[in-house]
Structures are given as C-alpha cells and as structure tokens.
A and B are shown apart, each in its own frame.
Chain A
Amino acid sequence: MSGSDDGEGRKSKSDGDSAVLKAVQAALGAEHAAVYAYGVVGGRIGEGRQDEARAAYDAHRARRDELARTVRDLGGEPEPAAAAYALPFAVRDAAAAARLAAELEDRVAGVYSDLVRAAEGSRRRMAADALREAAVRAVRWRGGSVAFPGLAERSGTPSASATPSP
C-alpha cells in the first residue's frame, strides 16, 4: 500500500491516492481476467475473427502492463493474475466466444469508468481512452451498441464476467 507519501502540500493527497490505487487495482484485475479469457476466445472464435481476437488480446496485455506500472507508481504492489478464471458460461463455439468477448469488454469498460471517476489528469485520460476502446470492441463483437458503456447502473445488464476461480 502507499505508505506515507511525503506529500506536496496537497491536503488529502493520500486519501485521493488510495482511492485511485484501489480503482487502478480493480482495473488491473479486470485486465488480468480479460487476458485470460481472450485466450479462451482465441481458441474458439474461428479463422474469420482470429486477427480481431489477437488484436484485442494484445491490447489488453498492454493495458495490463500499463496498469501494473501505475500501481507501482502509486506505491502499491500490483495484484497478480489468478491461476484460472471462471467463465460466465461455457464457450463451445464461435458464437459463444464472440459473446464472451463482448462481455469481457463490458466488464473492462465498467472498471475504467470507475477509474475515470477516481483519477485525474493523465490517469483519467488513460482510463477514458481505455473505456472508449473497450466500447468499440464490444460493439464489434456484439454487432450492436449500448447507450452507456461501462455504467452498469444505467444498463441493467449484469456485469459479471470472468471471476477468479479458487
């Protein structure tokens, strides 16, 4: 955890930092899960969308690494990936793989919207960019859009996706 920042005179800096750190760790956890699950997606998505799955996998790995660095910058210890994640449903064919990918993006969008709220400046900008990319990937996988990507309270869709399995 962040310990005692020497502070630059900003009051409640450590409070703000700990809220940001918590949100960054949550985003990191979601990216770990997305990287894992995209491995499953890649195995089932079929030839036609293999490149798309690969590009998404790479994008999530890059975000994961960026978030791990951010955690360290904030004085924290990056949350490690779980050994395995429980998928929300069985992925037996390409259609299910696309559905899973869309759900992963929804879940990732949700943690980034929270990070937008918690962070400021460059970290907020990074989160907003990541939210935007996730929303675009989600509509590609799904073929349709949602009005409020990342805002579960306005969508009514379940945000549960890949969760660490014991």
Chain B
Amino acid sequence: MELARARAASDSAGLVARYDAVIAAHPALAERVGALREEVVRHVEAFGGEVAAAGASGAASGSGAAASAAPSAAPSAPAAPSASGSASASAGGSGGFDVPSDKKGALAFLASAERSLADRRGAALLEVPGELARLLASVAAAGAAHAYLLTEGD
C-alpha cells in the first residue's frame, strides 16, 4: 500500500507542478488559483510527499517552486513518477506543460487535470485498505470541487 500512497503523492505533486506552470505563464491568475494550489500541496503532504516551495507563501507566484514527489515518509517505495514524469520536471517556467495562452484556457487546463485525477482516484480507492481509501476519497472530492471553482462563471 506504500506504493499506492507514493503514487498518490506523486500525482498530487504533478498537479502542483501544473499550478506552478499556469501561475508562471499567467501571473495574474496567482490570486485566483493560489489557495487551491496550497490545498494540493497539503494533499501531497498527507500522502507522505513533499513539495519544495520556493516562496514561503504559495500565494505568491510559484514560478520557481519545484514539486518533487519524494515521499519522505515511505521507507521503501520510491515514488518515481515514471508515468508522466511531470512531478519532477517543474523546475521553472511552464515546466514543460503546454499551458494555454489565454487565461480561461489555462484555468480549463487546470480544471481538466483536477477532474481527471479525481476520476482516477475514484477507481484507485477501490483497491486499497479503508483508511487510505478514505483519504483518497476526500482528496478526490477536493479535486472535483477545485475543478468546479476553476471553471465557475466562465
């Protein structure tokens, strides 16, 4: 189950990297999405991972924040984000993500990432023990709520 937990940390770290890429490309969106990014950072930590933030406050422009998915707590399972590679590739700038050039598109990009991860977690939580399933369900619900907030009124 450490593997499932490490993967969840890595997935959330990948999401943080997407937030950072969007904020780097659209600094004006930092205020709108900063609080959501902070919650995703807490998700990474809840799964035992770490996000090395450049700025003390995540509400600031997270341009240099490198989201690393190393789950410090997990002794064995390495959280190699092999699937997407996104989690470790966020050193700066857009982090290799193809962030849409318009703000609305950039928000939709984040909403889509939140929603699809929430969907995947909805399936993954059926395969793990109860306590981790509960955490995954909560974080998936938060992701769905984020997706709503990212696109409401647009």
- A residues sitting closer than 8 Å to B (CB atoms) are 109, 112-114, 116-118, 120-121, 124-125, 127-129, 131-132, 134-136, 138-140, 144-151, 154
Contacts and interface: CB of A to CB of B under 8 A. Distances in A.
Given A136-B144, A139-B145, A148 B122 contact: no
Interface residues of B, number: 28
Interface in B116-132: 118, 122, 125-126, 130-131
Interface string B90-114: 0000000000000000000000000
B46 A128 contact: no
B145 A116 contact: no
The 8 lowest CB-CB distance pairs between A and B, nearest first, are A135-B141, A117-B130, A147-B39, A117-B134, A128-B137, A132-B141, A139-B145, A116-B137
A151 B135 contact: yes
21 contacts: A109-B138, A114-B134, A117-B131, A125-B126, A128-B141, A132-B118, A132-B137, A135-B144, A138-B145, A139-B148, A140-B152, A144-B149, A145-B35, A145-B39, A145-B146, A147-B38, A147-B142, A148-B46, A149-B145, A150-B138, A154-B46
Contacts, number: 92
Contacts of A146: 39, 142
Contact of A140 (B137, B142, B148): B148
B122 A125 contact: yes
Tell me if B's interface is mostly helix, strand, loop or mixed: helix
A116 B125 contact: yes
Contacts of B43: 147
B142 to A, nearest CB: 6
Given A117-B131, A131-B141, A151-B138, A145 B122 contact: no
A40 to B, nearest CB: 24
Contacts of A112: 137
Given A124-B126, A129-B122, A144-B35, A116 B148 contact: no
Given A116-B133, A118-B130, A134 B141 contact: yes
A113 B46 contact: no
B46 A139 contact: no
Given A125-B122, A132-B144, A148-B139, A116 B149 contact: no
